[in-house]
Structure 1
């Protein structure tokens, strides 16, 4: 039961993480009015969140490998609490920017540490599913958090709404701190009475060689290419559906919701299929790499098809499937990276999430530039951006399929407690 409670908390943590990111946009109008901000100043506020996000993602994950994922997650959540309550003291633009920089800095480590924590609790046959639930927290947050946050902002004002999110983070901290364990070995200590895992000092040269290996390199590039798509869906999809597909705002809203729901079902289902295949054959290439790579390739082709077939029904259908297929790298990628250096699982997953964060910084600007190349023809501009992203996902999905060859599962001793827990709960 504890593993499922932990997964629920990690899922809810991802929802809070998304809500913390998105509430600034939902509160844009009252904040800009209160501080008399120009669009340029508001753009500075928006981008400041990501200034330290990629760096602290790696640093925080490395600390989690050394001191334990549970402890660092607790520190992270307490930081979110303090910062969201600190909003009550913001009275000018500089403080608002400092708040966003610090919030991004402390939210950066969440995803890689959450993946690593789940990896300790779930056997290989469930790792893909567990990670897909964490990924899904952001998607579900996009559908559930937005209307709730808008209501809170409308009723209580933007500062109180931020503080309420801080209170939610504190409740999460209490539940996670007092009702969970670091790993299954703490639950069944008799499995490893005389064994204490010691993390050897990491040699920079060896680590860089590992990152340059085909498995780590092309897994990271595949993740990066998909995250460009992630950003496009969050930033450009609504306006694309209205301006190019000629949907009404109401139709666009329902379309975005349907795409979100169906895509979660698809990438969760494929993650479960990958887990099932791994359980049957214990083969990383056939159960993980081929499933993810094939999904990315097909997803890229479906995404590209909306340049040709622009009937609204087909566009929504194609985007539902394309998003679900392309996103399979998000839950499975961390599993592959952790396997390459299990004793540094948090650090390895942080490489992936930081590459995604870099895409979050670059992709909106790059997409805007690509669209501008078409001049006044917005449809041609959107199609050009779609072609670029579909091409990137297709190429890196293909390279991922060809070159990624994960090592045979390492760290067997580390998994003994998990194996024991599995025998008790299955």
Structure 2
């Protein structure tokens, strides 16, 4: 894979060096730096137009949906300021939280902007993910054997933690960790914790399935599945099935026979519906019971966040997460769930600021996935992010989701290019039509 321009070169290098960056605890720094550097380059490319070097020229104007993301993430910042002002958190804490916004929520707009404006190819991101997979497979024997060889869980915490972040785990390097419920080892690879590693594994599988080189494709798929299984995450298993199969089934929406089959299955529910409901309830109970303590903590966190949001800070939230009690194992109130976390920290305004662009983008991806195979990967990525949002805080993990976010921007650029080409063809047809009638 040979990058065609400096933007592709930076992206490909950053992806292929994921494990070395993790080894020095630098991943949390690399993501935001890459976002703001390439985001600045995208804006510069738009401003200079043809004056910039030809291989960095903007591929077009900013798509409308990118503007929605930009506006939504700016509203997040406004909600943050309003929450801090309402609760009198002070200038120092407001500045610190604003820097956190620049390293978190802002990335959800910057990376799609980069993909939509700069001439970055899908193939670069796809191959980059497979290279990460090859690294993962090469290191897997050491990681998997570590707990049985008596090696320590955590190797070290990088001094880069001085730059500030959500916690020391973002700058720590681990061989493995122990599940406190079963006291068995779990692996988190290059993620700060195991459930997030599982969702990164899902993203890796989604990218690898689009790789044309079979060897690289197998490396990516094998590494992604390994990350999902070794992390022992229920959410990862759901994502592996749902986020890979559902986008590939979208073309069935346009097939008449699929609707007839759906109608027949729907009619059969009158007979087997009760049994299916019972089976689904048993499956959900088994899913929750697989790690009952984790489920209990998450449900308690969500209930407390919801109640305090409704009673204390409806519109702009509390401005920041609050320390949790022993009942939630001292987990912060407003964590472990993007949507409840948004309501608690940024209120209804912040909730809407993410919901609107997320739903709009998912709808666009679903329509294109039904019409064209190119929509499968962006839809799968959006489904993974949505799934992640129900168990994690998306904003503090955007620094690792950036290849998928750039791909979302590339997809919008492809849609805009197709729309412009179709409009030009229609104009040309309209122009030639009178001439043809005259000649006739």
For the criterion TM > 0.5, the same-fold answer is no
Report the TM-score when normalising by structure 1: 0.29
Task: Tell which structure's C-alpha radius of gyration is larger.
Answer: 2
Q: Considering fraction of residues, name the structure with more helix.
A: 1
| TM-score, with length taken from structure 2 | 0.28
Greater RCO, CA 8 A, separation 6+: 1
